[in-house]
Structure 1
Amino acid sequence: MAQRPTYIPQFKNKFLVKTEMVEFKYHSGFAAVQKQKSIDELHNSIQEKYGFDKILEVSSKSKEDLGVALSAFNLMIADKATKEKYSVECAFQSSKVFENGGAYTDLLKVTSKQAKKDERLRNSGKLIGFEFYNTKWQLNPLTAFYDWLYVNALNQNVQLHDRLMQYQTFTDIEFNPKKSINCQAYSIAMFVALAKRNMLESIRNPDEFLDFYKEFQISNTYQLNENLTLF
């Protein structure tokens, strides 16, 4: 058995996203079919526990084309000045600033997989922040930069919005909160909550987003330990 979170958008209370841990039967193995078996088990457990029948897995292993399209490896963000497009993953990895290097903006020009695996991200010392288009972000709040980046990228992709709004909760089978912090499924749940509250226009500016991010708290925040990574 294993546990993974499911992220439920909130439309009325102070929390934007409710995070619930769900126990399910995990099928080991790296093959897509094994991952999809685990996704089915996870979604069945969510349905039994919460009664949701519209659950979206957000990852490259999703059975839904929308879930695959929403993966940070595939979701594109456009530079409004140059009109160039690159994935959320490339934007995120290229923005990392370390004690001994970064931000490595050349990673905007490679594939998502190449960006994530670039050796400089592991050989440049401690991560100290982010820099994206001359705007610097601190590490705290922990997920603020990733959430801002993902939410604004998704806001550009209006062709996905109508279908996305039909779902009640979101998962990412690859995300383990005991090992990582940033999660695309969480960011999507935040986007849905913001959209339903008509608040998307108020969070484009990084400073306004940080103010807003401090006002709206996560329902059950991540517990930090030495094994967590911002990668």
Structure 2
Amino acid sequence: MASRPVFVAKGDPAHLVSELSFDFPWNPGFAPVQKKKNVVALHEAAAKRGLTPLLEVSTKSEQKIGQHLSAFNLKIKTELGEISVESAYQGSKVFENGGPYHDIYKVDSWTAKKDQRLKESGAIIEFNYFGQRWPIIPKTAFYDWLYLSALEPHQEYLKRLFIFEGFTDIEFNPERSINCQARTCALLVSLLKINALSDALRSQSDFIAMISTDSFNQPHSTDLKQKVLL
């Protein structure tokens, strides 16, 4: 058995995202077919408790919109052109002993995530995105901002996500990671429901003020560590 979270967009300024965990039979293995079986099993477990339909937000999603919303596929416009959210996140990390490694911006998501320097430079102390510095507290702020900034121009299209009762990412293990694209997708929907996405992205201070409570209060984020997005 395994336990994985489902993230629900609350549409409440005081509580933007709710996290619910479900137990389900785990299919071991790294093959895509095994991971897709786990998506189905997780969604079935949630459906038994009345939480359906769900959207898997990852490259393993059976739905195109779920694949497009993966941070590995999602692009953000920058002065270098469009780069993936994953590459932008990894290339902006500043460590005790190195970084930011901005050359990572120019590589694909898989190469960015596997860059050995990210594992050999000590603890993360901040983020530096094209000269804009972001703190590591609130813990999910910079990742959330990147993801939502990439999607902000498409607000009307993204309202189709309102049909989903929750969002999952089968690769996300709450015991090892903090940032989760499914949680950030739920945050996106929540902000869209209260017509606050553009206001949140107006400035760094506005964004942090808007999301800080949820960034701290997610059950899987009870400590202050920062780890690599899965």
Q: What TM-score do you get using the length of structure 1 for normalisation? A: 0.91
Is the Cα–Cα contact under 8 Å of residues 180 and 229 in structure 1 kept in the other structure?
yes
In structure 2, what is the equivalent of residue 16 of structure 1?
A: 16
Tell me how many residue pairs correspond in the alignment.
227
Describe how 1:74-223 pairs up with structure 2 within 5 A: 74-79=73-78, 82=79, 84-158=81-155, 160-204=157-201, 205-214=203-212, 218=217, 220=219, 222-223=221-222
Query: CA 1:53/1:215 → structure 2, altered by over 3 Å: closer, same or farther?
Result: closer
Query: CA 1:71/1:48 → structure 2, altered by over 3 Å: closer, same or farther?
Result: same
Q: What TM-score do you get using the length of structure 2 for normalisation? A: 0.92
Is the Cα–Cα contact under 8 Å of residues 77 and 156 in structure 1 kept in the other structure?
no
The more displaced of 99-108 and 88-97 is 99-108
In structure 1, what is the equivalent of residue 28 of structure 2?
A: 28
Is the Cα–Cα contact under 8 Å of residues 175 and 220 in structure 2 kept in the other structure?
no
- Code of the aligned partner of 1:146: Y
What SS is found at the alignment partner of 1:34? helix
Q: 1:130, 1:13 → 2: CA distance? A: 26
Query: CA 1:27/1:136 → structure 2, altered by over 3 Å: closer, same or farther?
Result: same
Shift of 1:13: 6.1
Q: 2:45, 2:13 → 1: CA distance? A: 25
Query: CA 1:164/1:176 → structure 2, altered by over 3 Å: closer, same or farther?
Result: same
Structure 2: which 5+ runs fail to align? none
Query: CA 1:13/1:94 → structure 2, altered by over 3 Å: closer, same or farther?
Result: closer
Query: Share of identical aligned residues, percent?
Result: 41
Is the Cα–Cα contact under 8 Å of residues 169 and 182 in structure 2 kept in the other structure?
yes
Partner deviation per Cα, 1:117-138 (whole Å, 9 max, x = no partner): 1111111222111011211111
- Code of the aligned partner of 1:201: S
What SS is found at the alignment partner of 2:11? coil
Shift of 1:152: 1.4
- Aligned CA-pair RMSD: 1.9
Q: 2:11, 2:222 → 1: CA distance? A: 25
Q: 2:71, 2:7 → 1: CA distance? A: 17
Is the Cα–Cα contact under 8 Å of residues 91 and 104 in structure 2 kept in the other structure?
yes
Structure 1: which 5+ runs fail to align? none
In structure 2, what is the equivalent of residue 61 of structure 1?
A: 60
The more displaced of 104-113 and 148-157 is 148-157
